[in-house]
Amino acid sequence: MKYYIIAGEASGDLHASNLMKALKLRDPEAEFRAWGGDLMHEQGATLVKHINELAFMGFIEVLLNLSTILKNIKLCKNDIVQYKPDAVIFIDYPGFNLRIAEFARKNKIRTIYYISPQVWAWNKSRVKKIRRDIDKMLVILPFEEQFYEKYNFPVEFVGHPLLDALEVQPDIDSFPEFITRNNLPDTPIIALLPGSRKQEISKMLPTMCKVSEHFTEYQFVIAGTKAHSDDFYHKYSNGKNLPVVYGQTYNLLRNAKAAMVTSGTATLETALIGTPQIVCYKASQVSYLIARNLVDIKYISLVNLIMDDEVVKEMIQSDFNTRSLVSEMKRITSDQKYSNTIMKKYALLRKKLGGSGASDKAAKAIIGFLNE
C-alpha cells in the first residue's frame, strides 16, 4: 500500500519512524511519502518537507509565519492528489493536520490519526472536526479512550510508543564510557533539555544555564539537536559555554543525576528513563495569556497529566526563574527520600502506559482497517 504520513515535530518523526518499521513488517510492499524528519527518511520515506521547516511555537509565532504555513498546506494538498495514497496517516500536529484531513476526506482518501491532538486540554470543538474527517483514531494515552467516549467517537488505545523507542535503543554507555566519549570531566551530571526549536531554546536555555552557578559540584550538559550548532547553543548559554552533546539525549539522561526539561514529549521520555526532573516552560507573554484562557488542564507535563498527580514540579512562565529552579534542584539532588518518591511514581506511570508494542499494535490496526 501507499502511505502518506504527516509529522511536524521531532517526537512525531520518532513515532512515525517506528510505525513505518512496524508497517513494513506487515506490509512488505509499503511505500511512504511524508512530511517528517531524518528518522522517517531512514525508514524509506520520500520527504516532501523536513520538520526543521515546519515547527512554529506559540500563537504569535504562528501568526508571523502564517503565509509560510498556508503555502505548505496548499503544497501538501496538491502533493496528496498527485501521490494518490491508500491512506493519509496524521501524527499529532493538529493545526496543520486537521486542515489536511478535511481535504483528504472530501477527496475520498482514508484518514487515520495516530497520536491524537490534545483536544482534551483545549479547543474541544476540534472533536467535531475529528469525528467528521477522521476514519480511524489510535490513541496513546490511557485517559483518551474515556474522553472520546463522551463524544460518541470510538477510538483504539494502543499504548505509548515511547516504551518501544526506549527498548530499541542501542546499549547505553556506563558513566565512565559516556564522559570519555564526550570529553567530559569525572563529575556528576545535571542534564539540560531546552527543546528542539530555536524559539524554545532562546527562551529556556539562558535561565537553565544560570542555575549552574549554584551547583559547582555538578557539570551541566546540554542535550543538543543536530539542527543547531555549538555557536547557537553557546549564544544562549548565559556566557557559561556549557558542553553540548548531540544525538545522545537518552544516553545523557541515563547518566544524569537530574534534569531540567522543556515541557513536551521529553518530560515523558525523562520519566520513563528514570531521571528526576523539573519541567520548564516559558512562552511570549501574549501567547501565554491566550493559552491560559484556553487550556483546561491541571498540569502541562504528560507525566503529571497521566498520573493525575504532581509527580514532578512544573516551573511555568514567571515561576521559571533561577531561584525556583535552584530550590527544587537542591531538593532533588540532596533529599534521597524525595527523589525515591519520584522514582516510585515513575514506575506506576510505566504500568499505566500499557506496556510495549504500541507501534506494532498501531500497524496491525491500520492494516486491518485498510483491508476491511
Which CATH number covers residue 45? 3.40.50.2000
Helix, strand, coil in percent for the chain, rounding step 5? 50, 15, 35
Same structural domain for residues 144 and 122? yes
Query: One-letter amino acid identity for 104?
Result: A
Host domain of residue 127: 2-159+357-370
Q: How many other β-carbons are positioned within 10 Å of the β-carbon of residue 297?
A: 11
pLDDT score recorded for residue 292: 57
Q: What is the pTM of this model?
A: 0.79
Same structural domain for residues 186 and 95? no
Residues sharing a CB contact under 8 Å with residue 354, sequence separation 6 or more, in sequence order: 142, 157, 158, 159, 160
Q: How many other β-carbons are positioned within 10 Å of the β-carbon of residue 340?
A: 11
| Confidence band of 190 (pLDDT split at 50, 70, 90) | very high
Same structural domain for residues 292 and 184? yes
Q: What is the pLDDT of residues 46-64, one digit of tens each?
A: 999 998 876 655 555 556 5
- CA-angle at 287, arms to 65 and 62, nearest 5°: 15
**Is pLDDT above 90 for 164?**
no
Same structural domain for residues 119 and 90? yes
| Confidence band of 124 (pLDDT split at 50, 70, 90) | confident
Q: What is the pLDDT of residues 263-308, one digit of tens each?
A: 988 999 999 999 999 999 987 665 555 455 556 578 889 999 999 9
Same structural domain for residues 70 and 140? yes
Q: Distance (Å, rounded) from C-alpha 123 to C-alpha 44?
A: 35
- Give the number of domains in the chain: 2
Same structural domain for residues 104 and 195? no
Please answer whether residues 363 and 84 qualify as being in contact, where contact means their C-beta atoms are separated by less than 8 angstroms. no
- Comparing CA positions, the residue from 282, 157, 272 lying closest to residue 208 is 282
Same structural domain for residues 243 and 101? no
Query: Is residue 75 included in any domain, yes or no?
Result: yes
Query: Is residue 38 included in any domain, yes or no?
Result: yes
Same structural domain for residues 348 and 205? yes
**Is pLDDT above 80 for 88?**
yes
Same structural domain for residues 155 and 179? no
Helices 336-352, 265-273: crossing angle, 10 deg rounding: 110
